[in-house]
Amino acid sequence: LIDRAWWKESVIYQIYPRSFNDTNDDGVGDIPGIIEKLDYLDDLGVDIIWLNPVYESPNADNGYDIADYQSIMDEFGTMEDWEELLDGLHDRGIKLIMDLVVNHTSDEHEWFVNARDPDSEYHDYYIWKNGRTDIDGFTGHLGPEDEAPPNQWESFFGGPAWAYDEEVGKWYLHLFDEKQPDLNWENPEVRDEIFEMMEWWLDKGIDGFRMDVINLLSKPDSVTKHDPPQNSTQVWETFDGPRMQEFLDTMHDRVLADQDVFALGEMMGRMDMETAIDYVGRDGPLSTLFHFDHVLLDHGGKIWETNEWTLNDLRDSFNRWQYGLADDGWNSIYLSNHDQPRLVSRFGNDDEYREESAKLLATLIFTLRGTPYIFQGAEIGMTNYPFDSLDEFRDVETINPVRNALESGEIDNFDDIKHGLRHNSRDNARTPMQWDDSEHAGFTDGEPWIGVNPNHDEINVEAARDDEDSIWHYYRELMELRKDSDVSDVMVYGDYEVLINDHEEVWSYVRTLGDERLLVTLNFAEWESHTWIPEYEVDFNPHDMEAELLLCNYGADERATDVDAEAFDLRPWEARIYRLK
Ligand code: ISL
Ligand code: CA
């Protein structure tokens, strides 16, 4: 018996509006720009659009600092534009999910402006604390001379997670930028406001929410009930706080339960499976989640620090979730988004084997068990940007910590960390979509708000659509297999079973649903690799099986089609999907 859901069978395409398509030449993508590309999305064949925040915002964090939840940012257009977008999507059978950013607001939100008056009913919408005076030698304060912040939590964007407010004479919590004060979810009025706002959007006809850093809503008792201990430096104390389950259960019961909507939670930190199942299992409040296991593999502690990842690490982190949510819960499969560098530059090879490796990574995304995500530009194999100076960056997560480190002398000059920033910065994902080979890649006729990748003369949608062997067409083939073929069910719902768990180059797995079996085999190397199906690891006899090739990123040539089911020689970055019969 298959536990079907439309959002399990769907492919999600993520649009970062600022960088998608600009129609009024101010250099900033806009909603009319998305409307202009509706047929493009339809041709590609995606089912759900996740739209990054388009609400009114001073853009300290590109829309993740919301000043009004119920209006559209001027730069992006009007509410009428947004309604036209929704209708245009629905006309094409595409659903729309909106970003829900309710851990924090902008400091320019009316609530926060009013909260600065301690007598206002809004004061308690945020988290205010007195500074500490009982510590020696604390030097990092940005408050009065004799005060240090309430505790030593560091914000995710660098510097203390508390800012001193002159008017109030207290400190407010901001886990992200100073311009993103955290809402006080302990306050029932905050919860009511948010739930009503969610209902308002659902009434407008949207199909669900992508919930930003949703497991941070409930703060630890050390902050809500007591004066926080000065020595708590661990901001991860804020993950999955004591009332997290309760808050989401209430949200589910009040807002989501009686509607057929998709609820996707972004979950920070490294989560244990029990907690995950509480959130997304059969009885949980959410449909699925984003975890960070695999995208943290190659990050160091600082934004410019990197680690080498290995295939074993990558496979282990996916195995954990594939097996962890096998019986209850549902995965989201992503290798990139607006916060992550480009997948082909990171997990593939953006040079000689760009096409092959981009297709291999797509094969992985579409054949693991879970809902697949395409971040705009992945479908043409867009790469990281060759950043050369700090002025070229726009992201607060990159700029703030680098400035601080330069000022404090922690780093001497930009060039020492350039390599790391090129690898890690979120701005890699945010350079404009490459539509064609014209001056600004067809994104704008004005001055783009962030640099267009110089490789757009080769890597662009127009060229990709013209070339039958392109990454773009390969994405379409994968989607066709997944949604509209004899193997769709096994591709979506089949069990996942990994083969040869310690192969250093090749990741292979079998997906099984009843008698249907798919074998996926992927060579993560620039050289040829050999692999096989070890009999002792599977409950069928590979010697008795015929392997029918369904898709290969080198095409259906003899090497890929004429094989024994038990052994395979793979070319550099080769990816194959077989049906075993
Ligand atoms: O952890 C990160 C990258 O590995 C961070 O970049 C990121 O802040 C984290 O993923 C949380 O992301 C979400 O909330 C942030 C916002 O800046 C991100 O764009 C958003 O996706 C604060 O709202
Ligand atoms: Ca514009």
Q: What is the mean pLDDT of residues 15-24?
A: 98
Query: Which among 358, 558, 372 has a CA at the least distance from the CA of 472?
Result: 358
Please give the C-alpha separations between residue 325 and each of 212, 328, 409, in angstroms, as whole numbers: 21, 5, 46
- Position 459 scores a pLDDT of 98
Tokens of 411: 């780093």
The answer to whether the beta carbons of residues 287 and 264 sit under 8 Å apart is: yes
The rounded mean pLDDT for the chain is 95
pLDDT digits (tens, 9 = 90+) for 167-210: 999 999 999 999 999 999 999 999 999 999 999 999 999 999 99
pLDDT digits (tens, 9 = 90+) for 324-357: 999 999 999 999 999 999 999 999 999 999 999 9
Tokens of 194: 């948010």
210 lines ligand 1 (CB under 6 A): no
CA of 212 to the centre of ligand 1 (A): 8
Active site residue 562: no
- Position 132 scores a pLDDT of 85
**At residue 272, does pLDDT exceed 80?**
yes
**At residue 225, does pLDDT exceed 90?**
no
Task: Indicate the pLDDT class of residue 227, thresholds 50, 70 and 90.
Answer: low
311-324 vs 273-280: helix axis angle to the nearest 10?
Answer: 50
156 lines ligand 1 (CB under 6 A): yes
Ligand 1 atom having least distance to the Cα of 157: 8
Q: What is the mean pLDDT of residues 91-115?
A: 98
For the chain, the straight-line distance linking the first and the last C-alpha, in angstroms and rounded, comes to 22
Q: What is the mean pLDDT of residues 531-544?
A: 93
> HSE (CB half, 13 Å, CA atoms) of 201?
26
pLDDT digits (tens, 9 = 90+) for 123-166: 999 999 998 887 666 655 677 878 888 888 889 998 889 999 99
Ligand 1 atom having least distance to the Cα of 104: 23
pLDDT digits (tens, 9 = 90+) for 57-71: 999 999 999 999 999
Q: Which residue has the tokens 């399990």?
A: 8
64 lines ligand 1 (CB under 6 A): yes
Ligand 1 atom having least distance to the Cα of 337: 21
The answer to whether the beta carbons of residues 72 and 54 sit under 8 Å apart is: yes
Which listed residue (61, 266, 298, 427) is catalytic?
Answer: 266
Give the residue, by CA position, lying nearest to ligand 1 atom 18. Answer: 339
Please give the C-alpha separations between residue 558 and each of 91, 554, 555, 563, 569, in angstroms, as whole numbers: 42, 10, 9, 8, 12
Query: Which among 206, 181, 325, 191 has a CA at the least distance from the CA of 246?
Result: 191
- Position 221 scores a pLDDT of 86
CA of 77 to the centre of ligand 2 (A): 8
Which listed residue (47, 56, 147, 212) is catalytic?
Answer: 212
Gap between the Cα atoms of 37 and 19, Å rounded: 13
Query: Which residue ranges form the domains of the chain, and what is each CATH number?
Result: 6-107+184-466 (3.20.20.80), 493-580 (2.60.40.1180)
- Count Cβ atoms within 10 A of the Cβ of residue 555 and give its class: 0-12 exposed, 13-18 middle, 19 or more buried: exposed
61 lines ligand 1 (CB under 6 A): yes
- Position 238 scores a pLDDT of 84
**At residue 522, does pLDDT exceed 60?**
yes
Beta bridge partners of 567: 532
